[in-house]
């Protein structure tokens, strides 16, 4: 039974539902602690036979509906939705990247100014601990501008753009 579950990727709970027994019955049976009820054994044999027949079916036999005009219309609609979502995602990620870059520039300018103030000895000098605390806050905020975070957004932009192109190309291939 474990082999059958692994082949079908059914969980114990799913198989229990198909056999109309409890999950614990499946677990105990797999551990060798309990036999399944006779009716469940019959149902399991029938499922195993159906699985063997299913594996002999040609791939994508379930998708014969796509060859109909309704299927093509539905597929075209799904591809259009995918294209639109991918385009919207690419725009959103681009905006996030631009915002991060702008924020990073602003924070770096603030940090340079604070360092400049720390080096000055003017009469209205701000106490060094205040300047150092502000610089520490800015340094912590700069962590959100990391190159790694920016690379992730660039990857997401490229991925969304590629998905958009694939969906468009797939849509052009439809009758």
pLDDT in tens, 26-77: 999 999 988 999 998 998 888 888 888 877 876 555 555 555 667 677 788 8
Residue 111 pLDDT exceeds 80: yes
Tell me the longest C-alpha to C-alpha distance in the chain. Answer: 95
Contacts of 146 by beta carbon, 8 Å cutoff, 6+ apart:
none
- The single residue listed with the structure tokens 């725009």 is 91
pLDDT at 58: 64
Contacts of 2 by beta carbon, 8 Å cutoff, 6+ apart:
30
| Domain 2-57: assigned CATH number | 1.10.260.40
The region of weakest confidence among 64-78, 139-153, 154-168 is 64-78
Residue 93 pLDDT exceeds 90: yes
Contact 100, 153 (CB under 8 A): yes
DSSP-assigned letter for residue 57 = S
Q: Which sequence spans correspond to the domains of the chain?
A: 2-57, 85-172
Torsion angle (degrees, nearest 10) of CA 46, 50, 53, 57: 170
pLDDT in tens, 7-16: 888 889 988 8
The model carries a pTM of 0.52
Helix (H, G, I), strand (E, B) or coil at 66: helix
pLDDT at 74: 79
């Amino acid at each position: 039974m474990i082999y059958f579950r692994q082949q079908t990727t059914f969980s114990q709970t799913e198989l229990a539902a198909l056999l109309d027994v409890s999950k614990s019955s499946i677990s105990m049976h797999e551990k060798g602690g309990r036999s399944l009820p006779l009716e469940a054994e019959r149902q399991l044999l029938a499922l195993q036979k159906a699985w063997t027949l299913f594996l002999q079916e040609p791939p994508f036999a379930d998708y014969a509906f796509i060859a109909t005009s309704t299927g093509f219309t539905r597929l075209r609609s799904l591809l259009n939705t995918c294209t639109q979502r991918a385009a919207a995602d690419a725009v959103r990620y681009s905006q996030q990247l631009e915002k991060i870059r702008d924020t990073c520039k602003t924070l770096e300018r603030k940090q340079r100014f604070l360092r400049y103030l720390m080096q000055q000895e003017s009469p209205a000098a701000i106490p060094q601990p205040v300047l150092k605390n502000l610089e520490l806050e800015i340094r912590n905020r700069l962590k959100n501008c990391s190159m790694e975070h920016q690379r992730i957004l660039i990857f997401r932009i490229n991925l969304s753009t590629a998905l958009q192109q694939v969906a468009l190309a797939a849509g052009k291939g439809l009758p």
